Structure 1
């Protein structure tokens, strides 16, 4: 994978204290830094030390690769800290991935001071986040021409190309056949990736249609026929009624098919 990365622009800093030492996550790199210096408004900001930049880039790359398809090119561009911040000097800075933060697209990496310069009994400790842009270039299905909302997709309207699949939310597609007959809920420009969030929900059956219901539990599965009481959209819950009058809720999974987990 391509591991292009750019160093951040100038860093402006402001002091932030914490009442207790953060808990260290296993496997996160520690870095001793002698001069992540304070920057006052109007003064030139100090750059992040090169060693810290390298650790931040590698942490972002590692997080991005975890969800990237095989053969994808991953690159990282670091941003700058908030210009209103003013950080006290710190000897030991720890970059870390914030809990629940996905390393795709516009995201953030945490920086926390573990052992600040000894200006007082406990020294300065702060915790900030650095903006990061993570790009994951891979082949995916894209619009071959401008496609207005409501377009029913076909192979003639689509092609594959290398795009930044991390640029937007939503799953991309690798095979044009998977999109045959699907409809767009928003317009696409030429070369734009088709994502799951761009598609109208697929309706498998209408109200009143007879559907096959598969009910499964631990170690068994039974099937039967029922009447749909609601339209069945792909992956959404729907109520169906059996001939004996019993009503159950299942998930629409295919053409006139409903799955019930017991």
Structure 2
């Protein structure tokens, strides 16, 4: 009887069987869901709602019985959208390590296209609306305030009600080659401002070379209207 109870306990803890269809125990599924939700909430904006859907293990798996399965978030795996949670056997006849597919949705208020918009259109208030969407459904940052997007140009078409994400916008040119720019040199615990001449156009988020009055040339990043950040 004790041997039978031990066998049943083993199957409950592992949440798997060795048949063609790998079946997860509900308690293990809940641990996976909680782990994925905790990881998503760590980076989710305030006021958003996280929903986790767990998938199924590959039905072809043959996993040895295990008394203890540890769920974990694999290194380098995204906490949002379509992702995977690792499952490793830490106490069993064989040490195995597999991954379980999950989908992590993060629902929040964001700016969307008020109608179908073509590439190249300059965004105005009439083109934009606010809606509750899954901000984790696609890569790219979303915007919570339409004012942040006024005057920006679309790099690709948007469908009606589609979120306006950063990759859908054309990069802004903050200054032209030859213009005088403010350079902010940033170091640990300090910042020093000076002026320099841009040697190329300053495209949003891209590196740009500048020449100081002394003749020294340095490379920084265009971050705003005639503004360059130079990390030290």
Shift of 1:82: 1.9
TM-score, with length taken from structure 2: 0.87
Q: Is the 8 A contact 2:153 2:169 kept in 1?
A: yes
1:173-184 alignment runs, 5 A limit? 173-184=143-154
In terms of fraction of residues, the more helix-rich structure is: 2
Choose the corresponding residue for 2:194, options 223, 242, 254.
Answer: 223
The aligned length equals: 221
Q: Is the 8 A contact 1:173 1:195 kept in 2?
A: yes
SS of residue in 2 equivalent to 1:33: helix
Q: Where in structure 1 are there 5+ consecutive unaligned residues?
A: 1-30, 117-122
Q: Distance in 2 between matches of 1:68 and 1:201?
A: 25
Q: Distance in 2 between matches of 1:206 and 1:152?
A: 21
Report what 1:38 is aligned to. Answer: 18
Report what 1:6 is aligned to. Answer: none
RMSD: 2.0
Report what 1:129 is aligned to. Answer: 99
1:198 lines up with 2:163 in the alignment: no
Shift of 1:161: 0.3
Change (3 A) 1:219 1:134: closer
Q: Distance in 2 between matches of 1:59 and 1:67?
A: 13
Alpha-carbon deviations, 1:207-239, whole Å to 9, x = none? Answer: 222323334556562422x32211101122111
1:87 lines up with 2:66 in the alignment: no
Q: Where in structure 2 are there 5+ consecutive unaligned residues?
A: 1-10
Which structure has more RCO (C-alpha within 8 Å, separation ≥ 6)?
1
Q: Is the 8 A contact 2:22 2:57 kept in 1?
A: no
TM-score, with length taken from structure 1: 0.78
Report what 2:8 is aligned to. Answer: none
